[in-house]
C-alpha cells in the first residue's frame, strides 16, 4: 500500500463505511485499505463524505450526509455542538460513549502495554451525564459593538457567538457568565483584543461548590485599574445574593494561559468550599480542583478499594495536587506522604488537612521523581504508592524509585490510557503485576478517559 498513491483526491465526494472510532472521536473508514478520518461519523454507519485533506498514508473527510445510521446516533442537545471545541461525543448515546471509553483503555493496554490478560471493567458512568462541571472559563470578545462570550471553535480562537448555554456546566455558573457579560456590556467595559494586546475583559471564570452551593466569580482583566469594575461588582452582589466571592485576576501578558499571577478579592471571601465524601476543600481562584466531584468520589472510592488499607500502612501520594487523594486515604492509613511540584498546591493541601483535622498526612514540595529516591535513601518504605500524574504519565525516575521501593501495592490514577499502558509495562518488567483497571467517566460528552489501576508486587 505504501508505494501506491492514495485512492482519493481532495474535494472528491465518496460513500464510506465506518468501522471504528479514534480516541479523539472521529469515525474511521477505509477505501482499499487507505484510512480516512471523519469527525461525527460512527462505526457501523455509511455516509457521504467530502475528502478535505489527502496525505500519503491517511486522509481526512467532512461528513456530508449519513446514509445508513445506527441506533446509537442521537440528536446532540447542544445548539452549538457541531462548531464548539468543548464536547466531541454528543452525537453518540451515553451507553456508546461508555463502551467506547472502556474499549479505548483495553486497546491501549494491549497495543502499548502488551498486557493481554488484564481485566478492564465497564466504565463507571453518571446517572445524569449533563451539567456536571463545577468550573467554567469563558473567553470574552466583541461582535457588532456588543460583548460576546462563548467557547472557541476547534483549533481556533474564534468565539462561538450564539452559544446560549453550556449544558455540561453547572447551571448557576452559566447564569453568572451571562450576568457578568450583560452588566459589563452596559457599563462599556471593553473585551480584550488578543492580537493587539489591548482592551480589558479577557475571561469570565465561575466556580461552584457542588455540595455547598457557594459560588465564586473570577473576572480576568488585562490591567488592574478598571474604573467600571466597582459598579460591576456592586451590581453583581446586589442582584445575586447567593454569590460568595468576586475576584479579579490580572493577566497583562500576550498568552494563551487564562490566569495571570495576581489575584485580588473584590468582594466576599478568598475561598469557596466544597466537600467530596465528607472531606472539605478550600478552593481559591487559582487552586486546582477536580471539575466533576460526583465522579471524583467514585474514582477515589475505587482508589481506596485498590489500596486496600487496614490502618497500619504508610502511603505515598506522588502528584498529590491539593491533597484530594491523600486526605481521602489518610482516613484509612497510618500515615500519608504527599508530594507535588506546585508550591501553592502544597499550601492548599496543608490547609485542607487542617480544615479536616487530619494529622497523619504530610505534604512536600518537589519533583516526585527526585523526592521519592531521596525518601528511599532516608529509609522510608511505603506499603502503598498512589500516582496521579498529568497526561504525559510518570517520569522514568519515579517508576525506577517505585521499583526500588517495592511497595506491596501501587494504585495508578490516570487521565491518559496511552501513558498508563506504557508505565504499566515498565512496572511489569520491574516486578509488578497489573491486576485490573477501572475506567471512570469524569468528562461525559468529551473524549477524555480517566481510569484507576491496581498493581501489586509479584511474590
Binding-site annotation: residue ranges for S-adenosyl-L-methionine:
290, 319, 340, 388
Residues tagged in the binding site annotation: 290, 319, 340, 388
Choose between 6 and 321: whose C-beta lies nearer to ligand SAH: 321
For residue 98, the surrounding DSSP H or E stretch is helix 94-111
Choose between 96 and 413: whose C-beta lies nearer to ligand SAH: 413
CA distance 345 to 353: 12
Nearest distance from C-beta of residue 102 to ligand SAH, angstroms: 22
Residue 359 three-state SS: coil
Of 142, 154, 7, whose CA–CA distance to 82 is shortest? Answer: 154
CA distance 326 to 363: 9
Number of helices (H) and strands (E), helices first, in the chain? 9, 20
Nearest distance from C-beta of residue 446 to ligand SAH, angstroms: 17
CA distance 457 to 408: 5
Torsion of the alpha carbons at 347, 351, 356 and 359, rounded to the nearest 10:
70
CA distance 11 to 223: 47
- From the candidates 394, 415, 451, 452, which is the catalytic residue? 415
Choose between 28 and 365: whose C-beta lies nearer to ligand SAH: 365
In the annotation, is 415 catalytic? yes
DSSP at 83? G
CA distance 287 to 282: 9
Nearest distance from C-beta of residue 296 to ligand SAH, angstroms: 7
Nearest distance from C-beta of residue 318 to ligand SAH, angstroms: 6
Choose between 313 and 388: whose C-beta lies nearer to ligand SAH: 388
CA distance 297 to 360: 21
Write phi, then psi, for 121 (nearest 5 degrees): -75, 170
Nearest distance from C-beta of residue 308 to ligand SAH, angstroms: 19
DSSP for 390-410, written as a single string: -TT---HHHHHHHHHH--SEE
**Nearest residue by C-beta to ligand SAH?**
321
Choose between 174 and 369: whose C-beta lies nearer to ligand SAH: 369
The residue whose grid cell reads 505515598 is 316
Beta strands in 322-378 (DSSP E): 335-340, 361-365
Site of interaction with ligand SAH (CB under 6 A): 288, 290, 319-322, 324-325, 339-342, 345, 367-369, 388-390, 395
Nearest distance from C-beta of residue 43 to ligand SAH, angstroms: 32
- 3-state SS of 256-316 is CCCCCCEEEEEEECCCEEEEECCEEEEECCCCCCCCCHHHHHHHHHHHHHHHCCCCCCEEE
Of 40, 216, 39, 23, whose CA–CA distance to 104 is shortest? Answer: 23
Choose between 342 and 456: whose C-beta lies nearer to ligand SAH: 342
Nearest distance from C-beta of residue 336 to ligand SAH, angstroms: 12
Choose between 47 and 322: whose C-beta lies nearer to ligand SAH: 322
**Cell matching residue 273:** 468550599
CA distance 169 to 292: 10
CA distance 451 to 443: 12
Among all residues, which ones are annotated catalytic? 415
Amino acid at each position: 500500500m505504501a508505494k501506491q498513491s492514495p485512492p482519493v483526491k481532495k474535494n472528491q465526494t465518496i460513500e464510506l463505511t465506518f468501522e471504528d472510532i479514534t480516541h479523539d472521536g472521529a469515525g474511521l473508514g477505509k477505501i482499499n485499505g487507505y484510512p480516512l478520518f471523519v469527525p461525527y461519523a460512527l462505526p457501523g454507519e455509511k455516509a457521504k463524505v467530502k475528502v478535505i485533506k489527502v496525505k500519503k498514508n491517511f486522509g481526512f473527510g467532512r461528513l456530508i450526509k449519513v446514509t445508513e445510521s445506527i441506533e446509537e446516533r442521537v440528536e446532540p442537545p447542544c445548539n452549538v455542538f457541531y462548531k464548539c471545541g468543548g464536547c466531541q461525543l454528543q452525537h453518540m448515546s451515553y451507553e456508546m460513549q461508555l463502551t467506547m471509553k472502556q474499549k479505548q483503555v483495553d486497546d491501549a493496554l494491549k497495543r502499548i502495554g502488551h498486557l493481554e490478560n488484564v481485566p478492564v471493567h465497564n466504565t463507571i458512568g453518571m446517572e445524569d451525564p449533563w451539567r456536571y462541571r463545577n468550573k467554567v472559563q469563558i473567553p470574552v470578545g466583541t461582535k457588532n459593538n456588543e460583548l460576546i462570550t462563548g467557547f472557541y471553535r476547534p483549533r481556533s480562537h474564534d468565539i462561538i457567538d450564539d452559544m446560549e448555554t453550556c449544558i455540561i456546566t453547572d447551571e448557576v455558573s452559566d447564569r453568572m457568565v451571562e450576568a457578568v457579560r450583560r452588566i459589563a456590556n452596559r457599563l462599556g467595559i471593553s473585551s480584550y483584543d488578543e492580537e493587539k494586546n489591548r482592551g480589558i475583559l479577557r475571561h469570565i471564570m465561575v466556580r461552584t461548590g457542588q455540595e455547598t452551593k457557594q459560588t465564586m466569580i473570577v473576572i480576568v482583566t488585562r490591567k488592574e485599574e478598571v474604573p467600571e469594575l466597582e459598579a460591576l461588582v456592586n451590581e453583581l452582589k446586589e442582584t445575586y445574593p447567593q454569590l460568595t466571592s468576586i475576584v479579579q485576576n490580572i493577566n497583562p501578558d500576550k498568552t494563551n494561559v487564562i490566569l495571570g499571577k495576581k489575584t485580588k478579592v473584590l468582594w466576599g471571601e478568598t475561598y469557596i468550599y466544597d466537600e467530596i465524601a465528607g472531606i472539605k476543600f478550600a478552593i481559591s481562584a487559582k487552586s486546582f480542583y477536580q471539575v466533576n466531584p460526583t465522579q471524583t468520589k467514585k474514582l477515589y472510592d475505587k482508589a481506596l478499594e485498590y489500596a486496600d488499607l487496614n490502618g497500619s500502612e504508610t502511603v505515598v501520594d506522588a502528584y498529590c495536587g491539593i491533597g484530594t487523594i491523600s486526605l481521602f486515604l489518610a482516613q484509612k492509613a497510618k500515615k500519608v506522604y504527599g508530594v507535588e511540584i506546585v508550591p501553592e498546591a502544597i499550601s492548599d493541601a496543608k490547609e485542607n488537612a487542617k480544615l479536616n483535622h487530619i494529622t497523619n498526612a504530610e505534604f512536600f514540595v518537589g519533583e516526585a521523581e527526585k523526592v521519592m529516591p531521596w525518601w528511599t535513601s532516608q529509609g522510608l518504605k511505603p506499603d502503598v504508592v498512589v500516582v496521579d500524574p498529568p497526561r504525559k504519565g510518570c517520569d522514568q525516575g519515579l517508576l525506577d524509585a517505585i521499583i526500588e521501593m517495592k511497595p506491596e501495592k501501587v494504585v495508578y490514577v490516570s487521565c491518559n490510557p496511552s501513558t498508563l499502558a506504557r508505565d504499566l509495562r515498565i512496572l511489569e518488567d520491574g516486578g509488578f503485576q497489573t491486576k485490573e483497571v477501572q475506567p471512570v467517566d469524569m468528562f461525559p460528552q468529551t473524549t477524555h478517559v480517566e481510569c484507576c489501576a491496581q498493581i501489586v508486587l509479584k511474590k
